[in-house]
């Protein structure tokens, strides 16, 4: 009997291309000197056992950094860093490093992750939420207010794709008065061209479009590295510390950076972020169409704010307890059909399909067919 194909809709750690997993497995067996994983031409060591100060790892680190510029479009004005501690540590490092005396840290509240970023900032100093979609269940990206609302900001922080609620900024905003924009782009980096030149600092946990958990990509405009810090900042939490070497202040997640490099090579070979956008629009469009055409499903995000990466919806119509039971039934049937990890985030419930770059179009078609059939027989 042939093995069932599993379609993994996990929000992260998420699906990776099979070719990337295969090359990572080769590198675990034996690494080639330039950081490529070809056992026949290897150095006799696994990527897991080489020093982070060896020439082989330096080649991996340097190439991964270069590909962030080439493939993701991180401008040359920005320093690329591979850090640890997840995107969550960036909630802490951003205010530590970018706060300025007499200024206010400003945030746009678009859901769970931005609220967490706000909470960390509040521990360190005055923090202002300048726009929020909380009142409508974070179902859209709110308009940014006029410049006066953030004229005294040390920076403005946004979450450009909201993994839990399934909303996305159509474009990164341009802020007035040269106020630095900080972007948590964890869950849509690499999914389409993004104007990173508008961001003073961007960060992304790798475990969606960039590889495994345990690596966080950070890019920061180089002039910000020299700016005086407000108050005492532990050495490890300073971006300048990590920029000096770069990304080798302490032992990095060497394997994670290798896989990130493999992911960027894969993305480049698919035609880069522009080709990926076309594919992602087709994938998400097909799924949103099914939800829109249905009288059972209700998409959570409003048109104009819908994420290409995380599609969220609920079952409508029936009383609450019936809906919950039907959602459970749907999840069980989906699981049995090999469509796994469709459960919405534990804090919001409902359903969520995370369809990152590596998620195949065929799998989206299967989900669309499944949803139509479930509705027909419900
Ligand atoms: C947009 C966003 N920001 C931050 C985080 C937190 O990331 P981590 O678990 O790497 O700290 C996540 C996790 O899914 C996320 O989706």
Task: Note the pLDDT tens digit of each residue in 239-250.
Answer: 999 999 999 999
Question: Residue holding tokens 């490890």?
Answer: 236
Distance between Cα 257 and ligand 1 center (Å) = 18
Distance between Cα 216 and ligand 1 center (Å) = 10
Q: Is residue 113 flagged as an active site residue? A: yes
Which of 163, 216, 260 to mutate to test ligand 1, by most ligand atoms within 8 A of the CB atom?
163
Helix (H) or strand (E) segment spanning residue 351 = strand 351-354
Total domains, the chain? 2
| Residues 331 and 278 occupy one common structural domain | yes
| Residues 173 and 279 occupy one common structural domain | no
Domain CATH code at residue 239: 3.40.640.10
| Residues 308 and 371 occupy one common structural domain | yes
- Asked if residue 128 is part of any domain, the answer here is yes
- Asked if residue 43 is part of any domain, the answer here is yes
| Residues 115 and 173 occupy one common structural domain | yes
Question: Does 39 score more than 60 pLDDT?
Answer: no
| Residues 324 and 360 occupy one common structural domain | yes
Question: Does 131 score more than 60 pLDDT?
Answer: yes
Q: Do 370 and 334 form a contact (C-beta atoms < 8 A)?
A: yes
Mean pLDDT of 34-50: 70
Q: Is residue 244 flagged as an active site residue? A: no
| Residues 111 and 169 occupy one common structural domain | yes
Which of 103, 139, 184, 261 does the annotation list as catalytic?
Answer: 184
- Asked if residue 214 is part of any domain, the answer here is yes
The CB of 209 under 6 Å from ligand 1? The reply is no
Domain hosting residue 368, numbered range:
271-377
Q: Do 95 and 82 form a contact (C-beta atoms < 8 A)?
A: no
For the chain, the distance separating the N- and C-terminal CA atoms, rounded to the nearest angstrom, is 30
For position 232, what pLDDT does the model report? 95
Q: Do 283 and 359 form a contact (C-beta atoms < 8 A)?
A: yes
| Residues 292 and 353 occupy one common structural domain | yes
| Residues 280 and 188 occupy one common structural domain | no
Cα four-point dihedral sign 241, 201, 193, 260: positive
- Asked if residue 16 is part of any domain, the answer here is no
Mean pLDDT of 260-273: 98
**Final residue in a domain of this structure, among 218, 234, 269:** 269
For 331-366, the pLDDT digits (tens) are 999 999 999 999 998 887 899 999 999 999 999 999
Enter the pTM of the model.
0.96
Domain CATH code at residue 297: 3.90.1150.10
- Asked if residue 9 is part of any domain, the answer here is no
Structure tokens that stand for 32 in this block: 């080639």
For position 1, what pLDDT does the model report? 67
**Final residue in a domain of this structure, among 269, 295, 318:** 269
Question: Does 374 score more than 80 pLDDT?
Answer: yes
| Residues 248 and 289 occupy one common structural domain | no
The CB of 167 under 6 Å from ligand 1? The reply is no
Distance between Cα 209 and ligand 1 center (Å) = 12
For position 322, what pLDDT does the model report? 86
- Asked if residue 10 is part of any domain, the answer here is no
**Final residue in a domain of this structure, among 207, 241, 269:** 269
SS3 312: strand
């Amino acid at each position: 009997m042939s093995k069932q194909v599993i379609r993994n809709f996990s929000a992260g750690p998420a699906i990776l291309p099979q070719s990337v997993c295969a090359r990572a497995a080769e590198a675990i067996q034996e690494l080639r000197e330039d950081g490529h994983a070809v056992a026949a031409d290897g150095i006799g060591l696994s990527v897991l056992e080489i020093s982070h100060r060896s020439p082989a790892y330096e080649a991996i680190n340097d190439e991964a950094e270069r590909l962030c510029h080439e493939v993701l479009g991180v401008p040359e004005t920005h320093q690329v860093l591979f850090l640890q501690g997840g995107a969550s540590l960036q909630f802490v490092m951003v205010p530590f490093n970018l706060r300025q005396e007499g200024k206010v840290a400003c945030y746009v509240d678009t859901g769970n992750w931005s609220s967490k970023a706000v909470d960390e900032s509040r521990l360190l100093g005055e923090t202002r939420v300048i726009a929020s979609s909380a009142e409508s269940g974070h179902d859209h990206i709110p308009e940014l207010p006029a410049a006066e609302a953030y004229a005294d900001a040390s920076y403005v922080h946004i979450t450009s794709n909201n993994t839990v609620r399934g909303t996305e900024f159509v474009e990164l905003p341009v802020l007035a008065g040269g106020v630095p924009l900080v972007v948590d782009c964890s869950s849509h980096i690499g999914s389409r061209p993004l104007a990173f030149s508008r961001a003073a600092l961007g960060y992304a946990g790798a475990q969606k479009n960039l590889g495994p958990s345990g690596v966080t990509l950070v890019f920061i405009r180089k002039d910000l590295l020299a700016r005086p810090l407000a108050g005492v900042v532990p050495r490890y939490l300073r971006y300048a510390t990590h920029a000096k070497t770069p990304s080798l202040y302490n032992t990095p997640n060497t394997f994670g950076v290798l896989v990130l490099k493999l992911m960027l090579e894969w993305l480049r070979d698919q035609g880069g972020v522009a080709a990926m956008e076309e594919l992602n629009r087709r994938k998400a469009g097909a799924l949103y169409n099914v939800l829109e055409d249905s009288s059972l499903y209700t998409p959570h995000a409003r048109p104009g704010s819908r994420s290409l990466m995380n599609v969220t919806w609920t079952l409508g119509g029936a009383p609450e307890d019936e809906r919950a039971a039907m959602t459970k039934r749907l999840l069980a049937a989906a699981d049995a059909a090999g469509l796994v990890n469709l459960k919405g985030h534990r804090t919001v419930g409902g359903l969520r399909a995370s369809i990152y770059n590596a998620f195949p179009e065929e799998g989206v078609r299967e989900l669309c067919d499944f949803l139509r059939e479930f509705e027909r027989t419900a």
